[in-house]
Structures are given as C-alpha cells and as structure tokens.
A and B are shown apart, each in its own frame.
Chain A
Amino acid sequence: MTGRRPGAAKENLAGWLFVAPVVVILGLFMLAPILMAMWVSLTDWNGQGSPFRAGVPFVGLDNYTRLFAEEGLARQDFMTSVRNNVYYVAIVVPAQTGLALGLALIVNGRLLRGRTFFRAAFYFPSVTSSVAISVVFLFVFANSGAVNGLLRLFGVEGPQWFADSRGILHLVLGALGVVDPDAPPAALTGGGPFGLSWWEWLSGPSVAMTTIIVLVVWTTSGTFMLMFLAALQNIPVTLEEAALLDGAGRRQVFTHVTLPLLKPTMFLVLTLGMIATWQVFDQVYVMSQGNPAKTTLTPAFLSYQTAFNGFEYGSGTAISFVLFAIIVVLTLVQRWVLRERRA
C-alpha cells in the first residue's frame, strides 16, 4: 500500500516526525512507568537506591496475595479502603448523575431566562482547583463553620464533621433501634470476609466521608450537566411535540421519548463518574489524610501513603495495580450491561 503513491515515503517520514514528540513523551511517562512499576510491585524495594539493581529482593506475587489472602494489617487497611470507596462510589455516582440530569432538564427549559448565567453557575465549581475547593470545604464543615452555623439556625447541633468516624449506616440502624452501635450483635462482629467483620463492612460511609461526598457531588455535577444538556439539545423538538400532540402527558413524554434518547449519554456519565470516583485522591489528601479512624482512606491514597510514607513501594504499586484492575473490570461490566439492554 505504501510506496506506490508518489511522495509516500516523504509523507511517511513527515508523519512520524509530527507524532514523534507525543510518542516519546507518552512512551516515557505513561508506558515505561507502568512497566517499571510492574517490576517494583514484584519486589520488596524499600526506596533506597535503584529498584533495578541486583540486591533488591524479588518476592513474586507476595505483595498481591498479602492484600487478599494473608491475615494482617496490609489486608485490613486495603479492605477498609475498598469498603470506604465502595460506599463513596455508590453514593456519589447516582447522586451526581441525578443532580446533573435534573439541572440539565431545568436549564434546557425553553422559556427560561438567564440560561447562560445558571449554566455558568452550575459549571463553575467544576473548573476550579480541587485543592482550593477542598480548603474551602474544610472551613465550611469546620466545627464552627458555615454548615454547623446553618444547622444551628434550625436548632440542630451539627457533628464535628472531620473528627466523626461513625458510620452512617450504623447510625441509621441505631436510630431505628435495630442494633445498638455501641454494642453490636456478636453475630456480626464475630467474623466476615477478607479480615473485616460483617459489622465493619456494613458501616456505611463515615460522617467525615460524607463531607467529601458532598464536595465531589457539588463539583462534578456541572460537567455532567453540560453533557446532558448537549444531548438534550440534540433531541429534535418536533419529536417531543409530536408525542404531546398524540395526547401523551409531559411525564410520559419524558419517560418514553426523552429518557431513551438520553441513554447513551447516561451510560457515558455513569462510566466516567465511576472511573473518576474510584480514583478519589486530592480531596482525601487535603481534607483528611485517611482520618478519622481510617474511614476516609481510599485505595488511591493508601497506595500513595504506603509507598512514600511507609517505604513499602512494592506494596504501594501492587495496590495501584489492583485499583487499575477494579476500574477496568467495572468498566467492562458496565459495558456488558449496556450491550445487554441494547439487544
């Protein structure tokens, strides 16, 4: 195919010259690092000198099995971080998707004035620095901060958000009188999978974690709103009007005409949301560093902490690869579910 056209060799060369810088940079800083890290995750490198010299102990898959099969603190911390992140994803993804869709539907209203303003207002938090926003939320949720000030107006004494490690689900169960959080039933505390008891698995996000949840829903909804908005604007008005003329109610039009057309966007938003929420790091680093009582620990932060503060680089990289696998698997599952529905 090449070589037949005149000037093809020249174009071949030009093409590679044009892509060369990008290829070098992505190769050096995306692909090579991954291969190096794969090696490190199979060693016990302690951060002294090069990980590629002869003396570095090779431990095979130990760093991985320790996260799943061996009883100990490594597994306990990892499983705690996974638990925290599962609750985090389970709340943030539906909440941000729902809020984004709701906002998009309202902003898309044809009679609305000031649409540009509202769209900008909802989108603005998405573009600002995650670190700066986290600092603001540290103040907003401080003991003497804005949220507790607001609650006090209604006569409610707010919790100490960042010091409160109690699980929401535990609190709810306690309030309903199902179990006493201070003396949970032995059946639940006795045992459970992967080194955490059932009671620990069933904690729900901690009060401290809810602040990060609120922050992230608040910052990301704007981006997803824009995606829904673009999709809504692509729906031909005539289609909805035709349905209305056929005597369908507004709600029926929404569920039978609008929503099905939004499906691709919906799945996109869900996928992007899930990928992002499994990677939560900045907010944890700035706001809580995994505290209180490890209830805001996430795999991303744990991996960082294990490597750079604990000198266990092998363990840290192993955690990040497991996280990678979790994200890939969940993305594939979601894609599979999508395919199922289309069929």
Chain B
Amino acid sequence: MNPNTRRTSRAVTSIACASMLVTTACGSGFDDAPGQSAQQSGGPVTLQILIGSSGDAETNAVKQAAQTWAAASGTGATVTPAQDLTQQLGQAFAGDSPPDVFYVDAIRFADYASVGALEPYAGKISSPDDFYPTLRTAFTYNGTFYCAPKDFSTLALIVNQDLWAKAGLGDSDVPTTWEQLTSVSEKIKAAGITPLALGDTRDRVGAFMVQAGGWITSPDGKQATADSPQNLAALDYVRTLLAGKLAQYPSQLDAGWSGEAFGAGKVAMTIEGNWIKGALKADYPDVKYAAYELPAGPKGKGSLSFTTCWGIAAKSRHKEQAISFVEAMTKADQQMAFARAFGVMPSRQSARSTYTGEFPADVPFVNAVDYAQGPVNAPKMDSVLDDFDTGLQKLTSTAPKTLLERVQKNTQAALGTS
C-alpha cells in the first residue's frame, strides 16, 4: 500500500464516520419514547384514515360516512384512498407515521398483529360477539380478537342462464355435488360451450380443498396441514376438470379474471365472490345470471370467505377517537348503507335478515358464511401462498402431490414448526 492510497482510504473512512454521526445525532424519525404513543388530549384532533378502495363508489361512501361521524363527534377525519395499501402501510409502519385507522386485509392481518403494529381494540366495540364467528377468527391472533371486521365476501357458483338453457339444462340441473358438477359440465361441453371458468389461485381452488375437508393450516393456524389426503383429493379433482377442459383458467380464456370470461359469455359457470355483481353490472349489464351455493365435496359444503377489518395503529395518538369512528362504521345500519353503495355484505349477524330481505339474490353468498373457511391466519405466509399460487397455475403439468409437499415444507418453515 503506498502512502497515497492509505491516505485515501483513511479519508473515506472518516467521511463515512462523520456522516454516520450526523445521522444518529440528529435522528428524530424513530422516536421510541413512550410519550409519543401516549394519548393526546385537548386541541383539535384529525384522524387519518387510509383505505384500500375497490373504486369511486366505495371511496365516496366511506368519505361521506366519515364526514357524518366527524360532524357529530367534533373530531376531524381525513379519508385517503391508498394506491397500494400493503406497500403504503409497510412504509408507514417503518416510518413510525402510520395512519390512525386503516383497512387490514385478513391475509395480511397476522403479519401486522405479530409485529405489534395493531391495537387490539375489538373488545371495546359494542357487542363484539355479533360479528360472524368465522370473521372473528380471521382477526384473532394468539387468542386476542384484534379489530372489527368491516364486511365480508364469500364464493358461490355463478351460472349464465342463457348458456345454461342453450345447453338444454334447467334449474334442477344446478350441481350440488362434485359428481353432479362433473356430469353437468360434460353436458355443457358437449353443447360446445366451455363449462367453468376457475381462477388459478388458492382463493378459488382452495374452496375445493375445504369441500374435501382439508386446508393449508390447522384451525389455530399453528400447524401445516397442506399435504393431507383431503387436499390431495381436492387438487386431483380440480386437475381432472382442467385436463378434461371442463374447467379453464381465465388466462386460457383470454381474460384477466373469471368474471371477465363469464361476462363475455365465454363460459356457462364460474366460481366467484359477490363482487362479481358490481363488475357485471358495470361492464356486462346484459348478462342474465344467478348465484348458487357451491357444490358439496366428500366432506360436505365448503366455501371461502374474504374480509377486511378496520385496523387501528398501536402507535396512534388518538385511539379513543379511532375506536369511536370504527364503532360508527360498524353499526348495522351503516353497514347496510355501505352494502347499498358498493355491494359488500355486513359483518354483523344482526344485519343478516335486513340484508337478505333487501338482496334476496345474495342468499347463497350469505349462507356460505356458515361453512366458509377464512384466509390463512399466520404471519410470514404471504410468500408461501404466492408460491402455492404459482404451483396452481401449473397444476396440469405438475403432480398435485409434489405441489402440496412443497407447500407443506414452506408452511412449516414459515410457521417455525419444521
């Protein structure tokens, strides 16, 4: 080393150290002082509310409800629709500047709860037991019910009535078992129509696993159960549907999702959630269709439920106001107002009869809540499930057993039980 380079490297080090000193010295972004999360009292308070909106209808409805609440409570409320909720929340948590109230998708719930980002406030909401049990489970972590479910959706069998009639089928032909699903699909195929559009992710294929009596994790979310014989039976069945061209993935039908293929009249049936109503009304208003409960498998009826809760940040300085806001948003009549505005189903059982009275066509969706499986409720499972989806996309060319073993292995690693 000649003196020149030695001097160079010494200078580099000193510059680096100096800049480190500066950052730590004037560091104020991460403030761990307990005082910061203390409740703030007095002065005007404005709640920051971040939502992952399904569209303008939802954004406007939530904004309106927030304004009504703000006027009544004297607390300000700013509703911001996120462009990418997961990413924005992640950076907000790391930046120590989370919004007070935000949507938490059940799929991400355990991630947030496990790192202590969420306030477990659900017990303070009036009559928490009124929320459907399956939704409460979806937002329970280590035995604590954290946050109030906003609303929910389930999967049902959607039938295109014109194509149904074209295939020579009647109301009594709607399948209620796997066997009937196979036989009716064969008839539809014989009539030259693609029978079923099926989304290529665990959020659709998973329904078959539930019908067979399986799931990816045990009910408490602690054990991996992906490689069970029940799951194998389900994937084998789905594979035969795909191989026989009785079911096709949306991409095979040149569609972004099943609803698009269904609306365009490319298939006679699809398995989708109640959000399909809004999509069909907007893009394909002329399609005549009806929803039915999903056909039962070896173990009986099964469906999947999807839900979002109103999360409150553990670091929020306005928790009291935030809880009062959520209380207002989850009242049965407010939930009905949301249902009318953007087609979601109320998460409170007390609103069930009002809802089915007003939307009789949705009875199959509501009924599914009694036997539906919620999303996997365990942290660090996101990449595992994405990997499972990748496998499902190649279901026709991969052995289901190999696929499930891989999911089992990854799940065990994520849950720390291997």
Q: Which residues of A contact B (CB under 8 A)?
A: 23-24, 27-28, 31-32, 35-36, 46-53, 71-73, 76-77, 143, 160, 163-165, 181-183, 292-294, 308-313
A-B contact pairs, 15 of them (CB 8 A): A27-B18, A35-B20, A48-B115, A50-B29, A73-B383, A73-B384, A73-B410, A160-B254, A165-B394, A181-B397, A182-B396, A183-B397, A308-B87, A311-B93, A311-B111
Q: Beyond A49-B96, A53-B32, A72-B410, is A311–B23 a contact (Cβ under 8 Å)?
A: no
Within 8 A of A (CB), among B365-402: 380, 382-384, 386-387, 390, 393-394, 396-397
User: Once bound together, how far apart are the Cα atoms of A24 and B16, in whole Å?
Assistant: 10
Instruction: Specify which chain B residues have a CB less than 8 angstroms from the CB of A164 in the assembled complex.
Output: 251
Instruction: Specify which chain B residues have a CB less than 8 angstroms from the CB of A73 in the assembled complex.
Output: 383-384, 387, 410, 413-414
User: Once bound together, how far apart are the Cα atoms of A312 and B390, in whole Å?
Assistant: 21
User: Once bound together, how far apart are the Cα atoms of A182 and B395, in whole Å?
Assistant: 10
Instruction: Specify which chain B residues have a CB less than 8 angstroms from the CB of A183 in the assembled complex.
Output: 397
Instruction: Specify which chain A residues have a CB less than 8 angstroms from the CB of B86 in the assembled complex.
Output: 309
Q: How far does the Cβ of A43 sit from chain B's closest Cβ, in whole Å?
A: 13
SS class, residues of chain B in contact with chain A: helix
Q: Beyond A47-B93, A72-B410, A313-B94, is A36–B387 a contact (Cβ under 8 Å)?
A: no
Q: Does B300 contact A (CB under 8 A)?
A: no
Of the residues B387, B393, B396, B413, contact of A292 by C-beta under 8 Å: B393
User: Once bound together, how far apart are the Cα atoms of A116 and B41, in whole Å?
Assistant: 68
When the two chains form their complex, are residues B93 and A32 in contact, meaning their CB atoms are under 8 A apart?
no
CB-CB nearest in chain B for A290: B386
Q: Does B71 contact A (CB under 8 A)?
A: no
Instruction: Specify which chain A residues have a CB less than 8 angstroms from the CB of B116 in the assembled complex.
Output: 48
Q: Does B64 contact A (CB under 8 A)?
A: no
When the two chains form their complex, are residues A48 and B387 in contact, meaning their CB atoms are under 8 A apart?
no
Question: Could you mark each residue 88-108 of chain B with 1 if its beta carbon is under 8 Å from any beta carbon of chain A, else 0?
Answer: 001101101000000000000
Q: How far does the Cβ of B15 sit from chain A's closest Cβ, in whole Å?
A: 5
User: Once bound together, how far apart are the Cα atoms of A310 and B112, in whole Å?
Assistant: 10
When the two chains form their complex, are residues B16 and A27 in contact, meaning their CB atoms are under 8 A apart?
yes
SS class, residues of chain A in contact with chain B: loop
Known: A24-B19, A52-B30. 8 other contacts (CB 8 A): A31-B19, A48-B94, A49-B32, A72-B413, A73-B383, A73-B410, A182-B396, A312-B380
User: Once bound together, how far apart are the Cα atoms of A31 and B410, in whole Å?
Assistant: 37
Instruction: Specify which chain B residues have a CB less than 8 angstroms from the CB of A165 in the assembled complex.
Output: 390, 393-394
When the two chains form their complex, are residues A52 and B24 in contact, meaning their CB atoms are under 8 A apart?
yes
When the two chains form their complex, are residues B87 and A309 in contact, meaning their CB atoms are under 8 A apart?
yes
When the two chains form their complex, are residues A309 and B23 in contact, meaning their CB atoms are under 8 A apart?
no
User: Once bound together, how far apart are the Cα atoms of A51 and B27, in whole Å?
Assistant: 12
When the two chains form their complex, are residues B397 and A182 in contact, meaning their CB atoms are under 8 A apart?
yes
Q: Does B155 contact A (CB under 8 A)?
A: no
When the two chains form their complex, are residues A32 and B20 in contact, meaning their CB atoms are under 8 A apart?
yes
Of the residues B30, B387, B409, B410, contact of A53 by C-beta under 8 Å: B30
When the two chains form their complex, are residues B115 and A46 in contact, meaning their CB atoms are under 8 A apart?
yes
CB-CB nearest in chain B for A28: B19
